[in-house]
Amino acid sequence: MSLAENGSFSMFGKRQAEVTKPALDWSKAEHGFLLKIFGDWQVRHVRRIAKEIKKLRCGTGKAGNNQLLIDMSGINSLDTAGAMLILDMKEYLTAKGFVADVINAREADKILFELISRHPREKISTEKKQSMLLNLVRDLGETVVSVGRDIIQITAMIGEVTTCILGLIIRPWRFRFTSLVHHMEHAGLKAVSIISLICFLIGAVIMQQSIEQLRAYSAEYFSIDMLGVLALREVGVLLTSIMIAGRSGAAFTAEIGSMKMREEVDAMRALGISPVETLIVPRILALVIALPLLTFIGNMMCLAGGAMIAYQMMNIDLQSFVERLNDGVDIRHFYVGMIKTPFVAVIIGIVGTLEGMRVRGSAESLGVHVRASVVKAIFLVIILDAMFAMALTSMGI
């Protein structure tokens, strides 16, 4: 307990005067050498201590079985860091050939020395040297394996969800209607404003740019056709689904992931509640219902943005704009855009919930999977869109 009293007054700045700097003094004695230790050997002074020890290492010459006394009487306070460094120094000097002994150590300091020498301070290195090429090959292999695992798991999840939905058709009373409405509100209704805004702006930008380009051929009137086809076929769907992938996909992963972290999902299983039925199916169905509706709103806002620019730049009023749209743009373009939405919704829902179920114990894992969920969902949405575009165009639709 006497140890605790040492240096306790050095806690505050104004008592700082009582702190003495750690120092070493090397001198010749009768039967060899004497090493005196002074000052506060505390963790806060380790830099200075290390410097002193370095100086000493340069200063000591050949030992030749000389006796060395390490005198602790000048020490003011000692903690584990200081004691560890003294022991290290003693070991080093012993290795050099000195017969080192510690003298005049206080009782508390002896206990500390004993405690530290009792515990090994072995280091375990984790750094394994590997060639860059080998690492590259290994990373490539790992990526391929993880993509393969993704494909299998997404397929399995689609199967599981389908089975669950079929089961719910037989026993519809088990369906979580409240949960469905809740998720439709959060993923659908609350996204209306942001999706309207970005679609309106992008519609306006497309219109403005196409008028600028087509004006050179005096064909700016056809920019309305172009906007119609682009917005209805591609832009409305893509903007909406990317927004929803970032917004709701990430939310699904975070919600399910944090439940997974606190073992709530396991608790559900233990209570005989199916997580697929309660957590996953309502979310996916909510998206399947909400995403087409949002896409429709997005489409309309895209056209509205275009109409505004058409009025401003070409002085075409709303009625003429709609007439031109009606003449120039076939309704099939609208269907092509809308047919994609349920598929996109399923992909976002599956990826978001699947990544949520993959979360393990730590907060870091949650972050990793939320990021993976957004990246994968957006990537797959774009792939799906490209596949639809190629297939439908080659069919002449």
- Interface residues with another protein (CB under 8 A)? 1-5, 8-9, 11-13, 42-44, 46-47, 50, 79-81, 84-85, 88, 108, 111-112, 115-116, 119-124, 126, 360-365
- DSSP characters over 280-310: IHHHHHHHHHHHHHHHHHHHHHHHHHHHHHH
Q: Which of 195, 184, 185 is nearest to 299 (CA)?
A: 195
Shortest Cβ 52–another protein spacing (Å): 13
Nearer to another protein, 1 or 169 (CB): 1
Shortest Cβ 125–another protein spacing (Å): 9
Q: How many CA atoms lie within 13 A of 125 on its CB side?
A: 3
Nearer to another protein, 324 or 369 (CB): 369
CA–CA gap between residue 170 and residue 292 (Å, rounded): 26
Token pair in block for residue 197? 């805004």
Nearer to another protein, 12 or 217 (CB): 12
CA–CA gap between residue 322 and residue 212 (Å, rounded): 21
- Cβ atoms of 90 and 53 closer than 8 Å: no
Q: Which residue has tokens 């907060």? A: 363
Residue 315 three-state SS: coil
Shortest Cβ 48–another protein spacing (Å): 11
Shortest Cβ 352–another protein spacing (Å): 22
Shortest Cβ 11–another protein spacing (Å): 6
Nearer to another protein, 265 or 344 (CB): 265
- DSSP characters over 150-209: HHHHHHHHHHHHHHHHHHHHHSGGGS-HHHHHHHHHHHTGGGHHHHHHHHHHHHHHHHHH
Q: How many CA atoms lie within 13 A of 75 on its CB side?
A: 27
Nearer to another protein, 27 or 125 (CB): 125
- Cβ atoms of 379 and 243 closer than 8 Å: no
CA–CA gap between residue 28 and residue 43 (Å, rounded): 29
Nearer to another protein, 28 or 47 (CB): 47
Nearer to another protein, 47 or 171 (CB): 47
Nearer to another protein, 269 or 360 (CB): 360
Nearer to another protein, 59 or 120 (CB): 120
DSSP 8-state symbol, 189: G
Query: What is each CA distance from 188 to 14, 111, 340, in whole angstroms?
Result: 62, 68, 17
Q: How far is CA 253 from the centre of its chain?
A: 12
Q: How far is CA 34 from the centre of its chain?
A: 57
Residue 19 three-state SS: coil
Nearer to another protein, 85 or 289 (CB): 85
CA–CA gap between residue 181 and residue 89 (Å, rounded): 71
Shortest Cβ 47–another protein spacing (Å): 6
Shortest Cβ 367–another protein spacing (Å): 9
Shortest Cβ 259–another protein spacing (Å): 16
Shortest Cβ 373–another protein spacing (Å): 19
Shortest Cβ 234–another protein spacing (Å): 40
Token pair in block for residue 140? 């490539």
- Cβ atoms of 112 and 80 closer than 8 Å: yes
What is the chain's alpha carbon radius of gyration, rounded to the nearest angstrom? 37
Start-to-end C-alpha separation, the chain: 88
